[in-house]
């Protein structure tokens, strides 16, 4: 992060997105989710509620899951950002994505990138049982599945019996 000593409306933003260094000028008021979608064309990050409740816009900032609709783009200056595009292999799906597909972890798919990024930003050992997994997932809303398929997918991807 570089210091910005005097208040300004527009400023340079430099960050790494999915391993690629990015430099651009942005309005200070532009949300990280909109920078990713509009300036970088990474539309896998979905915007649902725009108030930090639904979790659809979850991305990783320095490896930890955050809600990109309640973070300014300029707050990611100097950070390493990962979106759902960044965890998706060139061919096929990653193991968690495959588990979602195999176990009906999605229907309409709008919330799915957010769930995948939340899961990509935590260590499975911290969520040893189904109850703790459900609590982790409570920060992402899904209106289709009733969560059952998602929980089953996570348990399967993390090698847990159910």
| Contact positions vs other proteins (CB under 8 A) | 1-9, 11, 27-31, 34, 38-39, 41, 50-52, 55, 58, 61, 64-67, 69-72, 74-75, 77, 118, 122, 135-136, 138-139
Cβ-based nearer residue to other proteins, 70 or 98: 70
Q: Could you tell me the smallest distance in angstroms from the CB atom of residue 124 to other proteins?
A: 14
Phi, psi of 12 (to 5 degrees): -75, 145
Q: Could you tell me the smallest distance in angstroms from the CB atom of residue 62 to other proteins?
A: 9
Torsion 26-27-33-38 (CA) sign: negative
Torsion 71-73-78-79 (CA) sign: positive
The 3-state DSSP class for residue 114 equals helix
Beta bridge partners of 81: 17, 61
Q: Could you tell me the smallest distance in angstroms from the CB atom of residue 118 to other proteins?
A: 7
């Amino acid at each position: 992060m570089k210091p910005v000593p005097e208040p300004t409306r527009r400023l340079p933003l430099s960050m790494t997105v999915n391993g690629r260094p990015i430099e651009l000028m942005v309005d200070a008021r532009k949300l990280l989710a909109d920078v990713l979608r509009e300036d970088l064309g990474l539309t896998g990050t979905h915007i649902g509620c725009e108030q930090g409740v639904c979790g659809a816009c979850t991305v990783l900032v320095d490896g930890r899951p955050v809600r990109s609709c309640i973070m300014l783009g300029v707050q990611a200056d100097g950070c390493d950002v990962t979106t759902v595009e960044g965890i998706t292999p060139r061919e096929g799906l990653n193991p968690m994505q495959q588990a979602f597909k195999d176990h009906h972890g999605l229907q309409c798919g709008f919330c799915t990138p957010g769930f995948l990024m939340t899961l990509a930003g935590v260590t499975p050992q911290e969520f040893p049982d189904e109850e703790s997994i459900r609590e982790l997932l409570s920060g992402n809303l899904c209106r289709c599945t009733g969560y059952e398929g998602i929980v089953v997918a996570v348990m399967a991807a993390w090698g847990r019996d159910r």
